[in-house]
Amino acid sequence: MNNVRVRIAPSPSGFLHIGTAKMAVFNWLYARQQGGAFILRLEDTDVERSSDEFAQAMCEGFHWLGIDWDEGPAFGDVPEKGDYGPYRQSERIAIYQGEVQRLLDEGKAYKCFCTKEELDAERERARAEKRPPRYSGACRNLTREEIEAKGDAPYVVRFKVEEGHTEIDDLVQGKVRSDNKEFDDFVIQKPNGYPTFHLAVVVDDGLMKITHVLRGDDHLTNATRHVMLFKALDYPLPYFAHLPMVLDENGKKYSKRLHGANVLDWRADGYLPETIFNYVVLLGWTPGDDRELFTREELIECFSIERLGQSAARFDMKKLQWLNGQHIRRLSVEDLQQRVMPILQAAGFDLSGCSPEWLRQMTAICQEKIRTLNEIVPYTDFFFSEPAEYEEKAVRKHWEKDGALARLKQLRDLMASLDEWSTERLKSAYEALVEETGENLGACVHPTRLALTGKSVGPGLFELAELLGRETCLARMDRAIAYVNQMGGQRA
């Protein structure tokens, strides 16, 4: 079905919202699966709110997620491409005005000269009479002479809503049937000659030959007006699929004020673009089984509109964090190393004296532990500087007990006696010691980890000890012994 044409049409009046990203991902997946075209269009006719700065921020968000487009405006470092442009609404004003004139000529729209004061009074009367505030149609049947008599008076253009019903066979919501009398004659062109959202989006979708409109269900009411316009303009009607919005963890619409509403917040927090792409798909689509972890290629293969759901899904930080950890495990060590090096450098760690192989090994021993890229910092900071303090809770648990000092001395002597300094040799030596003493391995590992790193959790002890080196490990064991000795002789 290579004639599929879908689009995402954000307004560049802010950052790339997580909800917009979700809709972009669904459209992109469907286009890629069907061998169709994914179109980017910018709805930038709101001059006061739109800016190039916001447009670039959105572009950066799309690029980070790996969402490319087959047609669209010059955006970031991507030149304009496609045969149905321009792809910025601000450059299509003459096109909209031409279509509005066609509706006027065909008697499907009319000029409305009602003033703001008259419309406000009309709304007040409706409220007083406890009926919906709808336009009365005062200008609907003005004669040519009456219109000419208005001279240069400002006007809007309204669409004539005909009697009857409008039906939408929505691919997600099912059949939606509306009585046209619930809609007044809505405005399609403003006094300044600019189109309203309803007119512009329909003209764009119609002339750009969009076949499927996948968007948020907050547009479901708008869709009735849009179908009316599609029919009036004699455009082929696209398939509609209105999808639930993204909810926060409290079940409310994901506010722009919340951290994470901006897609790039997740980049700053150390999440992979593969994770966010994967996760937003799960906020409205199910694979038909319990599987949750997908690559981009796997999603393209198994995505289907039929499995899009009607129910809104809450954002689940625990699931997202788990998913990010799983995607981190899937990376090659070399790929992960390239992603964490800038984070380590930003944290102030000097990597200049570290060999590429040492850095690769350091990354490898953390790969199974970290849940976000940013966690590489607390999991490796002890490699670059001696611990400034010891974790208080771990000190109470492992060092504030009888025999703690003797145990540390024993472990220090064990380390010093090794003829080979390697992960395997350290591990076998510790295992031999616990077999001799009858204690569990943790009784030796935890006090040593605290001495070497100042922490109770981190990479595997034997792996990190090998990378720290014999001299550093022995020096830190000596420092820990002195610390415990000062805590009180009764722990000897």
**pLDDT tens for each residue of 250-303:** 989 899 889 999 999 999 999 999 999 999 999 999 998 889 999 999 999 999
pLDDT tens, residue by residue, 407-439: 999 999 999 999 999 999 999 999 999 999 998
How far apart are alpha carbons 471 and 477 in whole angstroms?
10
User: What stretches of 347-469 show up as alpha helix (H) in DSSP?
Assistant: 356-366, 376-380, 392-398, 404-417, 423-437, 442-453, 461-468
The SS3 call for residue 374 is helix
CATH code of domain 92-243: 3.40.50.620
Q: What is the mean pLDDT of the chain?
A: 94
How far apart are alpha carbons 488 and 401 in whole angstroms?
10
- Mean pLDDT value across residues 73-90: 91
Bridge partner list, 75: 78
Residue 247 has pLDDT above 60, yes or no: yes
- Mean pLDDT value across residues 118-126: 86
pLDDT at position 48? 67
How far apart are alpha carbons 51 and 113 in whole angstroms?
31
Tally of CA atoms within 13 A in the half-sphere of 237 that contains its CB: 18
pLDDT at position 269? 97
pLDDT at position 374? 98
Phi/psi for 386 (5° steps) reads: -65, 140
> Of the candidates 271, 275, 268, 202, which has an alpha carbon nearest to the alpha carbon of residue 232?
202
Q: Is 281 exposed, middle or buried (0-12, 13-18, 19+ CB in 10 A)?
A: buried
Residue 2 has pLDDT above 80, yes or no: no
Please name the CATH architecture into which domain 332-374 falls.
Orthogonal Bundle (1.10)
Secondary structure element (H or E) that encloses residue 31, with its range: helix 18-34
pLDDT at position 47? 66
Q: What are the residue ranges spanned by the domains of the chain? A: 5-89+246-307, 92-243, 332-374, 392-491
Could you list the active site residues?
A: 256
Other beta carbons within 10 Å of 264: 16
pLDDT at position 290? 87
Residue 466 has pLDDT above 70, yes or no: yes
pLDDT at position 490? 43
CATH code of domain 5-89+246-307: 3.40.50.620
pLDDT tens, residue by residue, 361-376: 999 999 999 999 999 9
Confidence grade of residue 45 (pLDDT, cut at 50, 70, 90) = confident
How far apart are alpha carbons 104 and 37 in whole angstroms?
33
pLDDT at position 488? 72
Residue 489 has pLDDT above 60, yes or no: no
pLDDT at position 78? 84
Bridge partner list, 166: 178
Q: Which residue has the higher pLDDT, 256 or 159?
A: 159
Other beta carbons within 10 Å of 116: 8
List the single range of 150-159, 304-313, 441-450 with lowest mean pLDDT: 304-313
Bridge partner list, 177: 167
How far apart are alpha carbons 274 and 294 in whole angstroms?
9
Q: Which amino acid is at 197?
A: F
Other beta carbons within 10 Å of 465: 25
CATH code of domain 392-491: 1.10.10.350
pLDDT at position 391? 95
pLDDT tens, residue by residue, 21-36: 999 999 999 999 999 9
- Mean pLDDT value across residues 76-84: 90
Domains 332-374 and 392-491 share a fold: no
